Amino acid sequence: MENYFAIRLEGDALRAISSVGLAHMGDAVYEVLARGWLCVHGRATGRGMHRDAVRLVCAEFQAAGAERIRPLLTEEEAAVFRRGRNAQVHTVPGHASRAQYGEATALEALFGWLYLTGQRDRANALFCAVMEEAEGWR
């Protein structure tokens, strides 16, 4: 039986996933990390929980986080990031610029790739770097 909590893909199986597919996976990974961050920091209470989660996963916040972590990326991670930024996305939410949405998609693709390659510790480290300056974000 496949363990979908501990997926580890390599080679052709990983290359077969489109950049949009990586971003789709990364969107979920990033949201789980953001919700965990809210719980740990005592902000997962009441009706504001959903609002706070949405603020952490919006394109503007993710684009700012992408700027913070870009200098920390390895060459391989930077290549995945670029691949995600160049994804053919046809719709952009009205509250974000196309550039912000591209950066957010790149960040999500990176988190999806890290998850699918089994690099959970690295994903966590980069997420912590994204959130470093988020203490006063509210």
Residue 6's SS3 state is coil
Distance of CA 25 to the CA centre of its chain: 9
Active site residue 27: yes
Q: Are 45 and 106 in contact (CB under 8 A)?
A: no
**12, 27, 52, 121: the active-site residue:** 27
Amino acid identity at 17: I
- Please give the Cα distance from 95 to 93 (Å, whole number): 6
Catalytic center residues:
27
